Structure 1
Amino acid sequence: MRDTDWIILDELYKNPNITKVAAKLYITQPTLTKRLQAMEEEFQVRIVNRSTKGVEFTPEGEFLAGRARIFLSFMKETVRGVDAFKTSGCGTVRLASSFTFSRRQLAEILMAYKSEHPNISFEIQNLRSHELTRLVEEGEADGAFVRGNYEGGINRCLVLREQAYAISKIPIALEELPDLPMLHCRLSNYSRRLLDSWWQHNFNRPPSIGATAEDADTCCQLACKGLGYTLSFMTEEQLKNLGVHSLLLKDGEGMPLVRETWFVYDGRRAKPDYVTAFIGFVEERYSIQ
């Protein structure tokens, strides 16, 4: 097996289309096909089957694709570790973050760190919160800012609490919500469960959906224009900056409905010094009780 063969397997598993993968890797389709045949001959198994939709991995192929991902992650970590000896005080911290946290809070954290460590750069991935811990656990991210209390064998510190509000251009009452158009946004599983549970506790019928958007910030902007109301988590400062009317949502015990955001990392995994330094910075400056 060549190192490039593992890359071919990984890319083809993520995108089972030989034409597209060959173009992405800057090789010809016949070359890619020949390498697949060479791998199959080496392992004496069939890795993929061709179909009208592209290629389908066999069980043996899925196993090899999984090993490819592990191998490539190992090589990336090895290169980073060696580079850390060469470039003291320099390096790239790989972070993952939910979409709204990246837009609302992440820039402040990175700017504060860069002001003290100008030679550090960042690589940022944005995903739904329930997908972020996987990146940390599999070594694809050094740390992640995650909405919700996700369990696992990783370290974490609380960095943000936000309260839930019904946001609208004009004042609205709680009992009016089912009859008004809701601006519905796609949230992480954790955030959606909190809001759905709150709604079911307060109303015996579903909301009237006026529009659906990909993120909370878009819904907030639509609410500001008077197109309906939206249920959103935010800080008091963010709410003040919006300049809209808001109705605080409370749980069954009369307490504000709260969403927590955690910074998570894998304390068991060896890290370059510059990654350890960033983790310490977040824990010292942004951890809350």
Structure 2
Amino acid sequence: MKFQDWEMLAAMHETENITQAAERLFLSQPTLTTRLKKMEDYYGVQLINRKQRGITFTPEGEQLAQHAIKMLFEQRKIEEKLHNMKNQVAGTLRVGVSNFFALNKMPKLLRLFKQSYPDVEFQVVTGWSSDMHKLISNHDVHISFIKGDYIWNDCKDLLYKEELCIASPWKFKMEDLPSMPRIDYYTDEKMRTIVENWWYSHYKEQPNINIQVSQVETCREMIINGLGYAILANLVVRPHPELFIKPLFLPNGNPITRNTWMYYHEENLDLNIVKAFVEFIQTIDVKVL
């Protein structure tokens, strides 16, 4: 198999969808299908089964896909090793980034780092913090920026703490929240658990959720336009002093906070590119960036 075949099988294995795999590889769907057919003809076996939504691999296809994933991993390793032998900060840095951090922090960080190390390229994956934790745990990325506390026995740096708060377009009393219109948004399980635990420790009623959106940034715009209140991180609404904000507190009186971490493997610090980026992040006050 060629390198492009490894990429194709790995993308299909991860997405379980030909269309999504083609988009990830910047190919048309017919082009990918033709390449897949040639591979099936070469090996004389069927590699996938088509379903109504997506695909599954046959036993033979699964074997080839696992081989492709392994070969891509080994290819990355040798490329990193060769770059490292030059004593230069160069190559591709693979980073996993939680959604809010990706939108509000990551572009500035990458721009600043690129100014010092122009030969570095970036491969950035974004998503829920739980997904970014899986990526770093599986060595699919060099570094992950994660909101919340996950099980991790390797290196991590605390970047900042952010308070959770109630943000409203109008003045309010805490006892009025159950009757007020609330805007909810999709978030990871840890954040949802924190919010629900706080709510049901204070109120017997369910919240009056009348708008539900997919992103916290959309939720913020709904608040700004007077459509309801929301429970979210203070950093999301900090640039809007016109909003009325009250922090959430634990029973002991301490504010409820959520940590943002940089997770990485100690062994990857042997790579010049990873060491340089980690040290760069450690010198910056990311919260105020």
The TM-score, its normalising length taken from structure 2, stands at 0.84
1:1-289 alignment, distance < 5 Å: 1-16=1-16, 23-24=27-28, 27=31, 29-39=33-43, 47-51=47-51, 53=53, 55-59=55-59, 61-85=61-85, 88-235=88-235, 239=238, 241-269=240-268, 271-286=270-285
Ranges in structure 2 where 5+ consecutive residues have no aligned partner: none
CA distance in 2, matches of 1:177, 1:55: 46
Identify unmatched segments of 5+ residues in structure 1. Answer: none
- 1:163 deviates by 0.5
Question: CA deviation digits over 1:146-189, x for unaligned, max 9?
Answer: 01111134311110100011101111111111111111011122
1:185-235 Cα shifts (integer Å, max 9, x gaps) = 111222111111111111112111121112222212211111000111124
The farther-off stretch of 27-36 and 193-202 is 27-36
Task: Name the CA distance, whole Å, in 2 between partners of 1:98 and 1:112.
Answer: 19
- Asked whether the equivalents of residues 269 and 275 of structure 2 are also in contact (C-alpha less than 8 Å), the reply is no
Following TM superposition, by how much is the alpha carbon of 1:19 offset from its aligned partner in structure 2, in angstroms? 7.2
- 2:272 alignment partner AA: D
Report how far residue 265 of structure 1 moved.
Answer: 0.7
* Contact 1:18 1:32 (C-alpha < 8 Å) held by counterparts: no
8 Å contact 2:156–2:263 — kept in the other structure?
Answer: yes
Percent identity, please: 24
Instruction: Give the superposition deviation at 1:274.
Output: 2.2
Q: Distance in 2 between matches of 1:60 and 1:14?
A: 17
Alpha-carbon distance change, 108 to 34 in structure 1, aligned in 2, over 3 angstroms: closer
Distance 1:273 1:135 in 2: 21
Distance in 2 of aligned mates of 1:20 and 1:285 = 37
Corresponding letter in the other structure for 2:61: G
On the 8 A contact 2:167/2:237 being kept in 1, the answer is no
Distance 2:8 2:120 in 1: 31
- What root-mean-square deviation, in Å, do the aligned CA atoms of Structure 1 and Structure 2 show? 3.0
Which is further off, 218-227 or 265-274? 265-274
Q: Distance in 1 between matches of 2:32 and 2:250?
A: 59
Residue correspondences, number: 283
Distance 2:168 2:247 in 1: 12
Quick one: which amino acid aligns to residue 280 of structure 1?
E
Shift of 1:276: 0.8
- C-alpha displacement at 1:6, in angstroms? 2.7
Per-residue deviation, 1:33? 1.6
CA distance in 2, matches of 1:263, 1:183: 30
| One-letter amino acid of the structure 1 residue matched with residue 248 of structure 2 | L
Query: What TM-score comes out, normalization by structure 1 length?
Result: 0.84
Q: Tell me whether 212-221 or 3-12 shows the greater mean CA deviation.
A: 3-12
Cα distance in 2 for residues equivalent to 1:15 and 1:154: 28
Provide the secondary structure at the position in 1 that maps to 2:123.
Answer: strand
**Separation in structure 2 between the aligned mates of residue 287 and residue 220 of structure 1, nearest angstrom:** 21
Cα distance, 1:86 vs structure 2: 5.2
CA contact (8 A) 1:183 1:229 kept: yes
Per-residue CA deviations over 1:38-90 (Å, capped at 9, x if unaligned) read 3355xxxx643344555422355335423422321221232233244458243
| Structure 2 contact 98–146 (Cα < 8 Å) conserved | yes
Alpha-carbon deviation of 1:283? 2.8
Distance 1:95 1:20 in 2: 21
